[in-house]
Amino acid sequence: MKKLIADASPLIFLAKAGLLDALKGTFKKVYLTDYILKEIEKPIEMGFEAPEVRLLHSKNIMCIEKFTAKDILDAKKLSKELNIGIGEAEAAILFKRDGFTAVLVADRRAQRKLKEIGVNTIDLIDLAFEVAKRGIMNPRQFALKLWDQAHFRSERVKDILGRNAYM
């Protein structure tokens, strides 16, 4: 069974776009660390309305993988070395444990840095193609939801929608 690790940002974008059922239909569960969960829950902690966070919890899709003190220190070191976020670094440490398929990210630079150290990564458009393979939704519909509902405006989303579709 494919096991996907997710950083905070792509999960938030998917929730805002109404695409969590597509994610769940493709991977059943996503794995994350306590730190990544805290990043997701930060708006609520700060007193903001965050329906996407409540939606993520209601879908029962997130599995928390526990980290040791050494894992946390290794992630902080990796974060500094690669100049990436702590969440992305923790996802990389988790991936290195073995048994995981990929890390879902929304940051192209972090994706490139993680690939350089042997971490298999996918972005939201790669996920769109995985969803399409299962017959859940075509990639253009997926990208349109990211664009319209989550305001996720990456170059890959623009490419799928067509350069004139969003002007």
**CA dihedral of 70, 88, 54, 62, whole degrees rounded to 10:** -60
| Dist CA 92 CA 75 (whole Å) | 8
Mean pLDDT value across residues 137-145: 96
Tens digit of each residue's pLDDT (9 = 90 or more) over 60-108: 999 999 999 999 999 999 999 999 999 999 999 999 998 999 999 999 9
Domains of the chain: 4-161 (3.40.50.1010)
Torsion angle of the four alpha carbons 55, 43, 113, 124, in this order, in degrees rounded to the nearest 10: 30
Q: Report whether pLDDT(166) > 70.
A: no
> Which parts of 30-93 are beta strand (E)?
30-32, 62-64
pLDDT bucket at 164, cuts 50 / 70 / 90: low
Average pLDDT over residues 4-23: 97
The CA-based dihedral angle spanning residues 156, 162, 165, 167, taken in that order and rounded to the nearest 10 degrees: 70
- Which of 162, 144, 150, 148 has its CA nearest to residue 106? 150
Alpha carbons 97 and 78: distance in angstroms, whole number: 15
Q: What percent of the chain has pLDDT over 90?
A: 94
If we measure between CA atoms, which residue out of 116, 113, 119 comes closest to residue 92? 119
Per-residue pLDDT reduced to its tens digit, 32-59: 999 999 999 999 999 999 999 999 999 9
Q: According to the model, what pLDDT value does residue 2 have?
A: 86
Can you tell me the mean pLDDT for 114-140? 97
What's the whole-model pTM score? Answer: 0.94
